[in-house]
Structure 1
Amino acid sequence: MKKILSTLIVIAILSVTSHSAYAQYEKGDKLLNVGIGLGTFGLYGNGVPINVSAEYGFTNQISGGVYAAIVSTKYLGGDWRYSYVYVGPRASYHFNELLKLNIEKLDIYAGAGLYVRTYSAKYKGGGTYNNDYKTSYTDIVPSVHAGARYYFKPALSGWAEVGYGASPLQLGISFKF
């Protein structure tokens, strides 16, 4: 965990100190996105999804990459623990050129993904019978998203997305390198 945190800090410092010009999304861009979700699908509406994704600009309009998220929560006084893990590819279309937007700090996009979702539930029983319970399953879920990214610095931006996946609303930061 310390290595991951150290790596993210180094990437953040390098991104913030970059002196390249602002530009709308373009071919060759590489982004590391880190965020949290507000709300969940399932899990009784509880839990805070944490997500990370990486994307690459294949053209000035199309990017693709991988997405991962985890959300976990306790229920009924902590006796139950529910968790979802999402992992899979996703792609986006960047609309700035199509919409003829000349706002260099803004990137508007929408897309879809296909995730492997692993669900698990655990019950920590007590009492006379000590009836612990565990279950899990894995399935494939489609996702859709629409979002915007605003660049505060050439290599650092904030983003927000709405859609269907791990969370109906996600917020985070992106590092461009």
Structure 2
Amino acid sequence: MKKLFHGILIYLFCLSKVFAQNGAFSKTDKLLNIGIGVNSFYDNGIPFGASFEKGINDNISVGGNFDYLATDFGASGVNSKFTAIYLAARGSYHFNNLLKVNNKHIDLYAGPSLGYRIFSWKDDFGGSLGNKYGSGLFIGIHIGGKYYFNDKIGVFLELGDVGSTNARLGLAIKF
């Protein structure tokens, strides 16, 4: 996973140096990411999530993040279900100005998140792990890149602790 992470960072950095137009992020932007996790911190299930951020200056945006994962471990007629929900406030620093990325299609960013995670476990035997499984506060961090096909629609990839996954990709929308 570290090799993939480093490879993507190098690729995005090199790609950013190739183009010269206008930066892809400004303080008036409202950003929505909707995506799926390409893996999970847990045994099964496909996490999906969304984040929304609003620019507060030409380099920083703030907003929130939601992540959801549910998986059914049922076997041999026994129902067992695990659910993880992450709700967080998050912020991002957009590196285009710092790295002199002047491409209107590329947005490179990273930042922290602080939130609350809710775990639940239910089975046919009345079992419930509730808070015993780790519900509570969490701190996350993300690094990402977006490529916009036009002024409003693009794709994104985020790596780090972004909920129940450490890699998410999907649709990026700018308002």
How high is the TM-score relative to the length of structure 2?
Answer: 0.80
- Out of 130, 133, 144, the position equivalent to 2:127 is 133
Cα deviation, 1:104-160, whole Å, max 9, x if unaligned, reads 200000111012000000112xxxxxx322231230111010000000111011000
| 2:23–2:107 Cα contact (<8 Å) kept | no
Question: RMSD across aligned C-alpha pairs, in angstroms?
Answer: 1.6
Give yes or no for the alignment of 1:110 onto 2:110. Answer: yes
Helix, strand or coil for the counterpart of 2:99? coil
Unaligned regions of 5+ residues in structure 1, if any?
1-20, 125-130
Corresponding residue pairs, total: 149
Give yes or no for the alignment of 1:86 onto 2:86. Answer: yes
Letter in 2 for 1:109: Y
Letter in 1 for 2:144: G
**Shift of residue 103 of structure 1?**
1.9
Name 1:37's counterpart in structure 2: 37
| 1:92–1:112 Cα contact (<8 Å) kept | yes
Q: Residues 41-120 of structure 1 correspond to what in structure 2 (within 5 A)?
A: 41=41, 43-44=42-43, 46-75=44-73, 77=75, 79-120=79-120
Cα gap change, 1:22 to 1:50, in 2 (>3 Å):
farther
**Shift of residue 22 of structure 1?**
6.8
**Whole-angstrom CA distance in 1 between matches of 2:22 and 2:152:** 8
**Shift of residue 79 of structure 1?**
2.7
Name 2:146's counterpart in structure 1: 149
Name 1:175's counterpart in structure 2: 173
**Shift of residue 168 of structure 1?**
0.9
**Whole-angstrom CA distance in 1 between matches of 2:26 and 2:72:** 42
Unaligned regions of 5+ residues in structure 2, if any?
1-20
**Whole-angstrom CA distance in 2 between matches of 1:65 and 1:79:** 37
**Whole-angstrom CA distance in 1 between matches of 2:107 and 2:32:** 15
**Whole-angstrom CA distance in 1 between matches of 2:102 and 2:49:** 30
Write 1 or 2 for the structure with the bigger share of strand.
1
Cα gap change, 1:71 to 1:120, in 2 (>3 Å):
same
**Shift of residue 76 of structure 1?**
5.0
